[in-house]
Structure 1
Amino acid sequence: MEKEAQLPKKQNVPRLVLIALLLVALMIGGGTIGSLITTGKAKEWITSFNKKEVESILVPQEEFLVNLKSNDGSPDDFLKIEMSIETIDEEKGAILTEKAAIVRDAIISVLRNKSTETIFDEAEGVLVIKQEIISKINQNLGSDVASELYITNIVMQ
C-alpha cells in the first residue's frame, strides 16, 4: 500500500515541473509581446506580413544634352546626362513611357536652372538634383509615379 501512495506523488512532481516550465514560457512570451506592443515594433512586424513584394520597374530615358545656367554669361557650359527612372508597378511604368514628353520637359526644366557650381550639390550624401527631378516629374504628372532616379552617365563641360 505504501508503494501505491508513492506513485501518485512521483507523477505529481513531473506535472508540477511541467506546469512551472509552461508558466515561465508564458511569462517570457507575454513579456516579449508586451514589449513589442509598447515599442511599436509589433505593428511593423505584422504589417511586414501583409506587404506584397513590390516589383520595381526601371524606365530608361534618352540622353539629355542641356545648356547650364552660367554665372559669367558664357554659353559654353553644358551637361550631358543619361538616367533611368524607377517606379513601383507596371501601370506607373506605362505612364512614364506614354508621357515621355512631359517627363523630358520636367527633367530639362530642372537641369537648365542648374549651374556648374550647383549641379553636384549633395544633401545627406545624395545628389540634390535627383530629388528635384523626381519631385518635378511627380508634380507634372499629378501623382507619385517616380520613386527613384538613377544617373547612368554624366558629363559636364
Structure 2
Amino acid sequence: MAKKEKKEKKQAPLEGEEVIVENKQMSLGVILPLILILAVIGSIGGTILTNKFILPPVVVGADTAQNTGSGRITEDQIIVPMEEFLVNLAQGEKGKDQYIRVTLSLLVGGEKDSAEITKNVAVIRDSIVNTLRQKKSEDILGSAEGVANLKSELRDTLNQSYGKTIVGEVFITDFVIQ
C-alpha cells in the first residue's frame, strides 16, 4: 500500500502578522572544528605578537654567555657533564627511606681542569655521594635556598677534595627526590 503523505499548505502571512522563522541549530560537527581553527589561529597570532612586540630582539652573533651565580661563563671555561647519581638520603622526621636522583654538570676553568675531572671521576663521585647521603629531603626542599645551598656545598666539597679551586659552579640538570 502506498503511504499517503500529508502536505501542509503554507499560507502567506497576512498583512500585520509577524513571520516566525525557525533557526536551525548548527550541528556539533560544524561548531567544534570552527572552535579548533579559531584556537589555533589565536595561538599563532599570539605567539607572533609576543615575539615581535613583547620579547626583546635577539641579535645574531652577540655574546651569548650564560649568567651563573658567580658571573659569566668565559670562552676558556668548560662544562663537564657527570653521570646520574642515585643516592639514599639520610632519614628525615618521618623515618622513611628516601632517594635522590640527580644529574650534575660542573663548570671548570679550562681543558686542563676538564681533563683532570674526567681522569679522577671516582674522586668527584665519592665526594658528591658522601655529601648527598648526609642530606635529608627537608634540607633540600624545605626552603627556597635549599637547592642553591646544596649546589654551593657540592662545589666547596669538590674543591676541598682536590685541594684547590677546580670547580667554579655546579649545575643541576635533573633532580628527583622520592
Q: Which amino acid aligns with 1:143?
A: K
Match of 2:103 in 1: 82
Q: Distance in 2 between matches of 1:65 and 1:151?
A: 14
State the percentage of identical aligned residues: 35
- For the Cα contact (< 8 Å) 1:122–1:128, is it kept in 2? no
How far 1:126 moved relative to its partner? 6.2
Alignment of 1:131-146 (within 5 A): 131-146=152-167
How far 1:122 moved relative to its partner? 4.5
Alignment of 1:105-144 (within 5 A): 105-120=126-141, 121-123=143-145, 127-144=148-165
TM-score, normalising length: structure 2: 0.54
Match of 1:73 in 2: 95
Q: Distance in 2 between matches of 1:126 and 1:81?
A: 12
Q: Distance in 2 between matches of 1:62 and 1:113?
A: 20
The 1:99/1:122 distance shift into structure 2, 3 A limit, reads farther
Higher helix share: 1
How far 1:142 moved relative to its partner? 1.1
Pick one of 88, 93, 103 that aligns with 2:114: 93
Larger radius of gyration: 2
How far 1:55 moved relative to its partner? 1.5
How far 1:127 moved relative to its partner? 1.1
Higher relative contact order by CA 8 Å / sep ≥ 6: 1 or 2? 1
- Tell me the matched-pair count: 103
Match of 1:11 in 2: none
C-alpha RMSD over aligned residues: 1.7
Q: Distance in 1 between matches of 2:173 and 2:151?
A: 12
Match of 2:124 in 1: 103
